[in-house]
Chain A
């Protein structure tokens, strides 16, 4: 089973709200990723967790805060977002972030910031 799940599917929030995105995989993968994707553009890497430790932060603004509570879960906490943060947020995982391998993507959360 190569499934990555993400909740919620859609999220609308105001600029003063605090919300969280959730990602889960049960494939035993040890690397998990957050990407941001604008319409008709490629995904942009935001964060990488490898063995539950943050290994890459692509200079993402602090209003985005990732968290990896365990090897199966990845959260993205959102606070004081801007309208330009509206996008599809994708989670992905792969077996071992120390070797090149296939990343498996979730269906994404469509975020709208008002």
Chain B
């Protein structure tokens, strides 16, 4: 069965420090991976995706993610955190049986401390 895990409910980072939000996955077939961000009372905004190609994927707002096949991970990173990065982050993976369906992780709340 396809699944995605975000092991941390909340991550606290001081402004200016690097941040990492963790995601691991379990899929049959090729993994197609996504990161979304959600600000309070808003819809989800797409940050980046891995379909194929380079393992380091660059996305919106200075975020990047590294696809690691051996560790089945797709951690989200940013070199220098901003207070405005505080939000709820979701990792998602295509359902291996359905191209029109993605499975979301439970979400990680990122709190950037000023």
Contact = CB atoms under 8 A, between A and B. Distances in A.
Interface of A: 2, 4, 6, 31, 40-43, 45, 48, 50, 55-56, 88, 90, 92, 94, 97-100, 102-108, 110
Given A40-B109, A55-B100, A104-B46, 9 more contacts: A40-B107, A42-B105, A43-B104, A50-B100, A94-B100, A102-B46, A105-B45, A107-B42, A108-B43
Contacts of B32: 100
Interface in B30-71: 32, 34, 36, 41-46, 49, 51
A48 B107 contact: no
Contacts, number: 59
A55 B100 CA distance: 9
Interface in B73-114: 88, 90, 94, 98-102, 104-107, 109
Contact of A97 (B36, B44, B100, B104): B100
A56 B107 CA distance: 24
Contacts of A97: 99-100
Contacts of B34: 102-103
B107 A45 contact: no
Contacts of A107: 42-43
Nearest to B46: A102
Contact of B100 (A31, A88, A106): A31
B61 to A, nearest CB: 15
Contacts of B36: 105
Contacts of A4: 43
Nearest to B6: A42
Contact of B106 (A42, A105, A110): A42
A106 B46 contact: no
A105 B41 contact: no
